[in-house]
Amino acid sequence: MNEPQPSPAKEAQPAGPAGAPSWTKLINIMIAQASFIAALMFYLGVTYTDAYYGYYHLSPFDLGFGFAEFALQSLNLLTFPVLVAVVVLLIAVALNARGSRRVLPDVVARCHLVVVAAGLLLLILWWQWQLLPQYRWAGPLLIGVGLLLGVVPRDDVAPSRGLWDTAVSIFAAGVFLFWAVTLVAGQLGDQHARNDGRHTNRRTALVVYSARRLALFNPALGVGSEDLGNAVHLRYRYTGLRLITARGGRYYALPIKWQARTDPVYILRESDNVRFEFMPGVK
């Protein structure tokens, strides 16, 4: 009777793609995250730039801004309060990762309805009576934070929400947080434009030389004119202008005593009969 022969030991198979880190998946995740961040920066940059130049009766789309320029404009949102909020958020995430996840939720998550109600109250105060306009972003922010706190697991409450309810709450929180960020971007753009408009003398001074008279002379707005004589080709010299921006061969300028509600913005183009000089503004 033949005894069964032991089967030969199987050689260890090298770890396949399932056992080894997939560089393709990692690269795809990084590309997706980078695309989302770039799209968010573009959107916030458009919102900020539209509010900033809208104060000067200009549109950034007419100025010819591109994707990269809009994205870079979003960096104006990195103010000190925003950086402090980001640092606090990173500290909270670090504490959550180190095992302190039960401390914050049990103390704060119970009050998520109070946070949502407070945000709704601020939203009504701003929407109906235009109260606290400088903090109109606080309402959507509190509602979004309250909705997120409502889906955080707690020790004293058994999880009863289904996946659908949790997904809806997270989606709604994202919408309100996105709304809050949009309001912040628009408010900062308008605020920065107003600050620059109040200090026009600090902007780059634009001196215009022209072979013909231009409809720029306006002593009431601080724009002066000087005739240099027949011996000079560009005989008319205009001062008292401040540069807003230069785009596509066009120079957008305003008078030094410019007022947003009543005064115009000048659009000038350089040619053989018009020349510009840039001077430092008075500080």
Model confidence over 178-203: pLDDT tens digits? 999 999 999 999 999 999 988 888 89
At 206, the pLDDT band (50, 70, 90 cuts) reads very high
CA–CA dist 139, 142 (Å, integer): 5
pLDDT at residue 137 tops 70? yes
pLDDT value, residue 106: 57
Tens-digit pLDDT profile for residues 32-67:
888 989 999 999 999 999 999 999 999 999 898 999
CB 60 within 8 A of CB 42: no
Q: Which two tokens stand for residue 255?
A: 């008078």
pLDDT value, residue 15: 47
pLDDT value, residue 28: 86
pLDDT value, residue 182: 92
CA–CA dist 273, 118 (Å, integer): 62
What share of the chain has pLDDT > 70, as a percent? 80
pLDDT at residue 13 tops 70? no
**Block residue for tokens 């902007």:** 203
User: Would you list the domain boundaries of the chain?
Assistant: 200-279
pLDDT value, residue 283: 56
Q: Record the pTM.
A: 0.79
Quickly list DSSP for 7-25.
PPPPPPPPP-TTTS--HHH
Scanning 130-203, the segments in alpha helix (DSSP H) are 138-150, 163-198
Mean pLDDT of the 200-222 span:
91
pLDDT value, residue 100: 47
pLDDT at residue 16 tops 50? no
Mean pLDDT of the 259-275 span:
90
Strand extents, DSSP E, the chain = 205-210, 224-227, 236-247, 250-255, 266-269, 274-279
Beta strands 205-210 and 236-247, pairing class: antiparallel
- Residues facing 238 on adjacent strands: 208, 225
CA–CA dist 193, 202 (Å, integer): 13
Q: How many residues does the chain have?
A: 283
CB 272 within 8 A of CB 209: no
Half-sphere exposure of 140 (CA within 13 A, CB side): 15
CA–CA dist 171, 39 (Å, integer): 18
More confident position, 94 or 239? 239
CA 228, chain centre distance (Å): 46
Mean pLDDT of the 83-100 span:
64
One-letter amino acid at 282 equals V
